């Protein structure tokens, strides 16, 4: 593979037509806007798609994107461990859009799902407030819920992974339908 481990926005824009772009965000996030021509294979489905990604990588360089670059970095590590070279987009789709570049949306998309980071923030905040409220009104032991969430956030920052995001990604609005993933893999096989 000829691409470096990270592509800047300008380089990605000029090479976009020569790349196989894989967006590893949830289907809901993908529907909210993605790089033109990107294929949606959520991070938790990357291993299942390895044969098809390997096939595509033999023909074109692979660019993996997410919202900010964290999940795409994880996906690139998984791909590298399995002999598939890929680059990540520096700053993700957020940087792409901030640079004034076009975002595509699937036809017939009624509304977009919140980004995973936003889903984690609202869930963590709600659980912290609930733990504090129940600790005041019911029993002080409920404050341990708030402490557990705080510990999880610290662990997430230190490790670059997020258990809450992994759980939230399994919710129905964040999951691809089997037919959607199958169709995406079929397109990938043709590249």
H or E element in which residue 87 lies:
strand 87-89
Asked if residue 23 lies in contact with residue 104, where contact means CB atoms within 8 angstroms, the answer is: no
Question: SS3 for 8?
Answer: coil
Structure tokens at 14: 């000029």
For residue 69, what are the contacts with CB-CB under 8 A and spacing of at least 6?
6, 88, 89, 90, 91, 92, 95
For the chain, what is the radius of gyration of the CA atoms?
18
Token pair for 188? 């990938």
Q: Among all residues, which ones are annotated catalytic?
A: 66
| Cα–Cα dist 173/32, whole Å | 13
In this structure, what is the dihedral angle of CA atoms 114, 176, 123, 141, given to the nearest 10 degrees? 180
């Amino acid at each position: 593979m000829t691409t470096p481990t990270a592509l800047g926005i300008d380089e990605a824009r000029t090479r976009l037509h020569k790349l196989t772009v894989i967006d590893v965000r949830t289907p809901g996030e993908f529907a909210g806007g993605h790089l033109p021509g990107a294929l949606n294979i959520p991070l938790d489905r990357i291993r299942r798609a390895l044969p098809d990604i390997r096939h595509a990588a033999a023909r074109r360089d692979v660019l993996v994107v997410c919202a900010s670059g964290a999940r795409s970095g994880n996906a690139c590590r998984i791909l590298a461990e399995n002999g598939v070279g890929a680059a990540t987009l520096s700053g993700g789709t957020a940087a792409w859009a901030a640079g004034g570049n076009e975002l595509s949306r699937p036809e017939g998309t009624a509304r977009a799902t919140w980004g995973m980071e936003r889903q984690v923030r609202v869930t963590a905040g709600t659980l912290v407030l609930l733990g504090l409220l129940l600790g005041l009104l019911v029993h002080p032991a409920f404050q341990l819920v708030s402490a557990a969430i705080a510990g999880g956030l610290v662990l997430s920052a230190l490790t670059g992974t997020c258990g809450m995001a992994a759980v939230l990604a399994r919710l129905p609005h964040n999951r691809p339908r089997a037919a959607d993933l199958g169709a995406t893999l079929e397109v990938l096989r043709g590249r």
